[in-house]
Amino acid sequence: MKVLTQFERKSLLFEGPEFIISCTDPALFIKAFEDIEEALSQGFYLAGFISYEAGYYFEKKLHKDKRYDFPLIYLGAYKKPQQNKINLSNQAQLNPPENLRLNITRPQYALDIEAIRDYIAKGDVYQITYCIKLFFEYGGDPLALYDQLLKSQPVPYPAYIQTEKFNILSLSPELFLKKKSIHLITKPMKGTWPRGGGMFSDLFAPLRLKYDRKNRAENVMIADLLRNDLGRLGVSIKAPTLFEVARYKTLCQMTSTVTAKIDKNISIYKLFSAVFPSGSVTGAPKIRAMQIINELEKEERKIYTGAIGYITPDKDLFFNIPIRTLLIQDEQAEMGIGGGIVWDSTPEGEWQEGVLKAEFLTSFSKTPFVPK
């Protein structure tokens, strides 16, 4: 197992684990976190991921009695990462993604969006982050594809994971959690706007996003949810910045920042049980949102909208939210595409936003991606 994180332009490479903490059976979920604490106490670094479905087992109302094919938890235990600059450039084969298709038709997607709006109208939820899946084939080298995608559209929280059974390519622009001693920070992302087609429209695109009523409403709902989640863990809960807009190659996106002070030695289980999965990938209120997500979505999310990152022996940690993240297994690949649905959402607008979010990958296809 090899884990490469390149968060905030600092590369850390974890390879050659002493052992792997893996959980596919919910009956062993708590045991996995006990193993995490034991590994940290022995001075190991842990690096890998927690899948979205792990979130079901932090809350009794969401428990499912089943075993999973894809791990809920997958963390390698390492002596120390390599910190020197890592050159990804290689001569490996870079093939385009082929046979791109969605797991849902456009009419069914519209019905699901209307169903969510009905739940909002009834007062069940304020917002739902609804996700679909893009499936495709990829026969080239996964690391070469990761390298190419990252060069094409740099993001602040990319990561690459290689195992014997699968590869994960995460081109994530979103921070889940960063803990340094007693300081905890999260940056929920909500709000998307296309880049402009001309010089002036492109210049004003970030401002249009920043002051768009619907996107601001989405963003502030999730920032409030994260404030509440962090309030279960610590004190001095603050939101020092709201509605920050970052410009990427194909779109603009909005984040807010929420911070807290917590116990330096907090248990990893307690920390994740309070905030995982992030409210930015569920909606609000979180538990009811996750129940509706489970009802409507056609596939397990797996790595998508979980968490990828590492934990140090002194319990500092750094995890992204794996959006814009590819999972490749035996040349079969998938990528989740999601968006926040509020009362003002329309099926057409959300569909177009999803197509825009996938463009960083679909633009590499030899044939135009025209979802139906």
CATH number among 3.60.120.10, 3.40.630.190, 3.40.1530.20, 3.40.50.300, domain 2-86+100-362: 3.60.120.10
Catalytic-role residue among 133, 178, 187, 190:
190
Task: For residue 109, give both structure tokens.
Answer: 């997607």
Torsion angle, CA of 279/284/287/291, rounded to 10 degrees? Answer: -110
pLDDT, residue 291, reads 97
* SS3 assignment for 118-186: HHHHCCCCCEEEEEEEEEEECCCCHHHHHHHHHHHCCCCEEEEEECCCCEEEEEECCEEEEEECCEEEE
Q: Are 168 and 146 in contact (CB under 8 A)?
A: no
User: pLDDT tens across 282-291, in order?
Assistant: 999 999 999 9
Which stretches of the chain drop beneath a pLDDT of 70? 84-92
Catalytic-role residue among 53, 174, 218, 334:
174
pLDDT, residue 347, reads 96
Residue 190 designated active-site = yes
The whole model's pTM is what?
0.95
Task: For residue 98, give both structure tokens.
Answer: 């082929």
The H-or-E segment that residue 21 falls in is strand 19-23
pLDDT, residue 364, reads 87
User: pLDDT tens across 228-262, in order?
Assistant: 999 999 999 999 999 999 988 889 999 999 999 99
The label of the residue with tokens 């893009």 reads 134
Q: Are 28 and 330 in contact (CB under 8 A)?
A: no
DSSP secondary structure of 88-124: -------PPPEEEEESS-HHHHHHHHHHHHHHHHTTS
pLDDT, residue 105, reads 95
Look at residue 71 and give its three-state secondary structure: coil
pLDDT, residue 7, reads 97
pLDDT, residue 323, reads 96
At a CB cut-off of 8 Å and minimum separation 6, what does 111 contact? none
Residue 64 designated active-site = no
**Residue ranges covered by each domain of the chain:** 2-86+100-362
